Each structure stands twice: as structure tokens, then as C-alpha cells.
Amino acid sequence: MAKTWIRREVEIPNHMALARLEKCPELGPKVLFFSGGTALRRASARLVNYTHNSVHVITPFDSGGSSAKLRKAFNMPAVGDIRNRLMALADQSLRGNPEIFALFAHRLPGTPEQETDQAPLRQTLDHMVRGKHQLVARIPDPMRKIVRNHLAMFQQNMPDDFDLKGASIGNLVLAGGYLANRRHLDPVIFMFSNLVQVRGTVRPVVNKNLHLAAELADGTLVVGQHRMTGKETAKLASPITRLYLSDETGRLVEQPIRDKMRSLIQDAELICYPMGSFHSSVLANLLPRGVGQAVAQASCPKIYVPSTGSDPECLGLSVADQVERLVQVLKNDAPGIALCDVLHFVLVDTAHGRYPGGLDLARIRNLGVEVIDCPLIGYGPSPDIDDRFLVPILLSLA
């Protein structure tokens, strides 16, 4: 089969194309996101109105909160961001899906700082396993049986000293499924995707229990994603100069992607590096060996959407600096990769967006990257990118 490039002018947003997609979303484009946390949750929920074929490559390196406890107990990848994206893409109109959503979003009481009695928490978990808890009882079969079986698997393997304070029930269900499927995430993701009719594909970039490590400009080594985001620890005092995959000690780990992940990337009709924590959500997905090559071999538009507002991980970085760093991480994967192979557009809103490090648009254009400047910020005080603007723009480029 022969392939060729066609250059065309595109209206942004293309309302006629969007109307067609809305009538037949099951035939929508394969828009691939290298995404981590919650920054893309609202956009994902809107995306399902236009395409059921989006691909979400998720970072499994979270080292804080409920995920950290599970990782320590079972030597497993983080599942919290996977759970969030599955629920964002689920068809909420189907019977049983809102009930699954409510269960997966539920957390047991308590915070790490509180002295909480574990006995009531274990009793609540036991009620869920036996199907007596109202959140489980209202889920229709066969989903209820699967949820109970996975929670039972978690309960049976839970260490005696496991701390259930603030535990995400969705994370416990996925962890139980991971253990029940010989420590593989793909089968449990596939099963729940089908049960709740997830309108898209969600996959961790790798299925290994790895961590993020960052070298700072002052020589400090920071190991663990949660230590970079400023959510659970103090914000970084010095800029990140290098990011890599590591074990718990900070030792470099070279981890390749699987053939299935390579195919997902290469088959994309649009690749988006979306807003979110720049290093721990976006760049983290690009670190495994083979990602850069797969992106370069994908014959589709590639776009970077920098975050607006404050990102503690971008200390001292302009948007132009972010573009250069993103491209360099991808080019490091193999000799011969050029900037034009991995990035074509940067999407900004100069009129309403807040970019604390500055933009330096001239430098971006000098790199050979086209800047798309259009409204992205919604009405009101929030500096966040509005999914009502973002989704139509991305789909118009696909």
C-alpha cells in the first residue's frame, strides 16, 4: 500500500467536520495522548462525543497517595491515573456504569496524617467483598461479581500492616485484578473497558514497577514522582535538568515499550502532548525506549499543548524551553530523528493564557514549529485550558 503526504488548509475549529463526527463517533479519528494525571479528564469526557477511538498512553509511575501504598505492598505499577481515565471515557448512559463510577471514585475515610482506627476500614472492605455495602450492592451483575472477586483477591493478599486510610476503592479493584491475572494490567484494563463501554483505548506506557528520577540544577537528585509535583512535598527549589526512569534508589533503568504500544503510536491519526505536569505527566511517557522512534514513524500531525498557569515542575522554563526539551527527549531515542519527525504545532492562547515562564514564540517558529494562537481559556478566573475549546481544535487537525 502506497503512502504520501497531502498538505491542506484547515479551518480551526472545523464545525462541519465536527458535526459529522458527532453523528458517527464510532468512526472517529485515532487521537493519541501522552498523558498522566487529571489535567485531561474533562477533555476526555468531551472527546467521546466525537470519537470512540482515542488512545490514552498513561504514566504508571505515581509514587504518592493510595497508589504508593499499593506499589509498595505488591511491587506493581501505579493504577490511579489509569482508573481516572477509564472512568472519564466510560459510557455513563449504560445501566451499571454510574454505579461503577461511584464505587471507583469512592475513598475510605482518613488521611495519612490522621490516627485512624483500621478496624472499621477493614470492616467496610469486608462488606464490599461480601456485596453488603450499598456501593457494591447497587451494581448489576455480572459487574458486581467481578468487582467482588477482585476486591476479594486484594483482601486475601493484603499485608497485615496495609494502611487503608484514604484508599481508593477503584485502585483496590484494579490491584486485585492485576493479582488475579498473573500480575498483568492489560487483561484487567481490557475487561473493565468492555464492562463499562470505555469509548477509547487506555494503556500504561510500560507495565513495569518503575519510578521517575530527576537531577536538579543545584545537583540534587529527586526520586519519586510525588516529590516533583509539589502536591505532597515542598515545591522544587531548583530547576529540573534531567529526567529518567529509575528503580527506588534512583539507579537508571532502560525500559523498552512493547510491540503493542509501538503499534498504537504508529497508527495514530493525531499525536498530542497535552497540558499537565510537564515532567511527571508528559515527558515521563516519552522516556521508555522506542517511544521516540514510534512517534517519528507515525505519519500524522503532532501537537504540543503547554499548560497555562503555574507548573512547579517548569521552574525557569519558557514554553520555547519546554518545546526544546520535549523534542530532545524524543530525539534521544535514536540517531536520525529530526524535530519535524516528532512535532509540528504548538497550541497557545496569547490573549488569555498565563505562561509564567514566558512564551518566546519567535524561538519556537525558528525551530520550524508552527504556532497556532487561538482562544483556549474559558470564561471566569480559572487559568486552565477549556475542553470546550481544546477538543474541537484537536479534532479539526486530525
* The pLDDT of residue 6: 66
Burial tier of 335 (Cβ tally within 10 Å: 0-12, 13-18, 19+): exposed
SS (H, E, C) 230-288: CCCCCCCCCCEEEEEEECCCCCECCCECCHHHHHHHHCCCEEEECCCCHHHHHHHHHCC
* 39-61: pLDDT as tens digits: 899 999 999 999 999 999 999 99
| The model scores a pTM over 0.85 | yes
- Tens digits of residue pLDDT in 348-391: 999 999 999 999 999 999 999 999 999 999 877 788 999 999 99
Of residues 187 and 11, more confidently modeled? 187
Q: Are 320 and 360 in contact (CB under 8 A)?
A: yes
pLDDT tens-digit map of 134-164: 999 999 888 899 999 999 999 999 999 999 9
Domain ranges of the chain: 15-59+255-397, 65-198
In degrees and rounded to multiples of 5, residue 181 shows phi and psi of -110, 45
pLDDT in tens, 196-242: 889 999 999 999 999 999 999 999 999 998 888 766 677 888 999 99
Displacement of CA 341 from its chain's centroid (Å)? 23
Select from 368, 379, 375, 371 the least CA-distant residue to 390.
375
Return phi, psi of residue 348, to 5°: -135, 165
Residue 131 CB: number of other CB atoms within 10 A?
14
Sequence-distant (≥ 6) Cβ neighbours of residue 104 within 8 angstroms: 83, 86, 87, 168, 169, 170, 173
* 186 has a pLDDT exceeding 80: yes
pLDDT of residue 5: 65
From 3.40.50.10680, 3.40.190.10, 1.20.81.30, 3.20.20.70, which CATH number describes the 15-59+255-397 domain?
3.40.50.10680
Mean pLDDT, the chain, rounded, equals 91
Q: pLDDT digit string (tens) for 274-323?
A: 999 999 999 999 999 999 999 999 999 999 999 998 888 999 899 999 99
Report d(CA 152, CA 103) in Å as an integer. Answer: 15
φ, ψ at 252 (rounded to 5°): -55, 135
Q: Is a pLDDT exceeding 70 seen at residue 123?
A: yes
List, for residues 279-290, the tens digit of each pLDDT value.
999 999 999 999
**Helix, strand or coil, per DSSP, at residue 161:** coil
Q: Which of 284, 218, 220, 282 is nearest to 246 (CA)?
A: 284
